[in-house]
Structure 1
Amino acid sequence: MAVTLEQAKNYLKVDEDITDDDELISSLISAASDYVEKTTGKRADGSPLCELCVKQLVTHWYENRAVYSSKPGAINVLPHTVTALLTHIAQCEAYPEADKT
């Protein structure tokens, strides 16, 4: 996993000594890494852009955990930054192809 729990908590601005959501954040990191790989067909190889995309996804999912939001589309629509990064990673030859297994 390219993004560590510590890095994600720092990005989320969650204090290290607050551990209530560590399991949730860890699962979001895993899910986001898998999402990037499956969506782009490229391996999340620890590049800065892949890591940023994972952190952005984790942040979006962490902050939008509710089933309902008063802001229309806030839960279901990914931020433009995430979609732009996913498109770049998918189209750029610099990122290695994901394993097909």
Structure 2
Amino acid sequence: MELSEIKEYIRVDYDDDDELIEELKGAAEEYLFNAGIEVNYKSRLYKLAIKMLVIHWYENRETVLIGSLSKSIEYSLAAILKQLRYCGENYEAKQ
């Protein structure tokens, strides 16, 4: 996934944070890999999970309180991870 695609998603139109965004993308890939998800940029759900993690970490660089925004991303991301883990290959096989 190109840096420009992530920047468009997180609505950043300047280059000052490019290095940070690249680091967050790498961390998101590592996070998904550690969750049992292989790198798969052909999957729209995989790309969405990367973008969700990047925007969350980009916008929340300080400690996040329990029950705040983190709960909504937690739920959404958990649902995407389940889909990627158990259904991703089946969907791609039908394409």
| Pairwise TM-score range, normalised by the shorter structure | 0.7 to 0.9
Partner Cα distance (1:88, 1:49) in 2: 8
Q: Name the residue aligned to 1:65.
A: 61
Q: Which amino acid aligns with 1:81?
A: S
Aligned mate of 2:81, from 71, 76, 86: 86
Q: Name the residue aligned to 2:40.
A: 45
Partner Cα distance (1:87, 1:63) in 2: 25
Output the TM-score relative to the length of structure 1.
0.74
Aligned-pair Cα RMSD in Å: 2.0
Contact 1:60 1:78 in 2 (8 A): no
| Equivalences, count | 87
Partner Cα distance (1:78, 1:33) in 2: 20
Output the TM-score relative to the length of structure 2.
0.79
- Percent pairwise identity: 36
Give the deviation of 1:92 after TM superposition.
Answer: 2.2
**Mind listing any 5+ residue stretches in structure 2 that lack a counterpart?**
91-95
Q: Which amino acid aligns with 2:60?
A: N
Partner Cα distance (1:89, 1:44) in 2: 11
Q: Name the residue aligned to 2:2.
A: 4
Task: Pick the structure with more helix per residue.
Answer: 2
